[in-house]
Chain A
């Protein structure tokens, strides 16, 4: 079946550091890929998405590129802020399926 693997956290960074959170997937066909963010006490919100190979999703300074050859969708940000502290979930949605597949989430802690 489909699966998503993301790096375990917590990831702890200083403000203005470069962020990478790794995400790899297995799926049949050509899934759509997503990053969601969950701030403390809130539900998940869509951060960015990509629907086909080589697409780059971007939002709020975050970027991720759909890499079919490496089955990856790594999340990056050039300079993190304290307000980026949250849990980040990588997910996929395979065509024809009603059920998205989520990774376990990666906690990011950014110190001033």
Chain B
């Protein structure tokens, strides 16, 4: 019963480096999401994928790209990391008419 699995759990990058955050779900959910969580800011939606083959921007998409690789996997890429992207990143999935299921997060620091 893995649910939503995120890798890595922790990462430190230097400004300008790139990296991809991975997310996979085993609940056969159609929709998947990437959020960032910053102190005092709650959850902010970066990108989402309503179904396999589609992706759309959320509230704070600048500096990020996503790929819905298949129904299970939804990755988030930072092409040129900036200190403002230091945050905790959460992936979530959701079935029709159901609540969201969240991963345990990736803690990303950019120096």
Residues of chain A within 8 A of B50, CB atoms compared = 98
Known A44-B43, A98-B48; 14 more pairs at CB < 8 Å: A32-B97, A41-B104, A42-B104, A43-B4, A43-B102, A43-B105, A44-B100, A46-B99, A99-B48, A100-B94, A100-B100, A104-B40, A104-B41, A104-B42
B25 within 8 A of A: no
B99, A49: Cβ atoms closer than 8 Å: yes
What 0/1 pattern do residues 78 to 103 of B give for CB contact below 8 A with A?
Answer: 00000000000010101001011111
B90, A43: Cβ atoms closer than 8 Å: yes
Smallest Cβ distance from A75 to chain B, in angstroms? 15
How long is the Cα–Cα vector from A49 to B97 in the complex, in angstroms? 12
What 0/1 pattern do residues 83 to 106 of A give for CB contact below 8 A with B?
Answer: 000000100010000111011110
Number of A-B pairs, beta carbon distance below 8 Å: 47
What 0/1 pattern do residues 40 to 53 of A give for CB contact below 8 A with B?
Answer: 01111110010000
A and B contact pairs by CB, cutoff 8 A, 13 listed: A36-B99, A41-B104, A42-B104, A42-B105, A43-B90, A43-B104, A43-B105, A44-B102, A46-B99, A99-B33, A103-B42, A104-B42, A105-B43
B31 within 8 A of A: yes
Name B's interface SS.
strand
Q: Count chain B residues whose beta carbon lies closer than 8 angstroms to a beta carbon of A.
A: 22
Residues of chain B within 8 A of A46, CB atoms compared = 99-101
B58 within 8 A of A: yes
Smallest Cβ distance from B21 to chain A, in angstroms? 14
Residues of chain B within 8 A of A105, CB atoms compared = 42-43
Q: Choose from B40, B41, B97, B99 the contact partner of A34 (Cβ within 8 Å).
A: B99
B45 within 8 A of A: yes
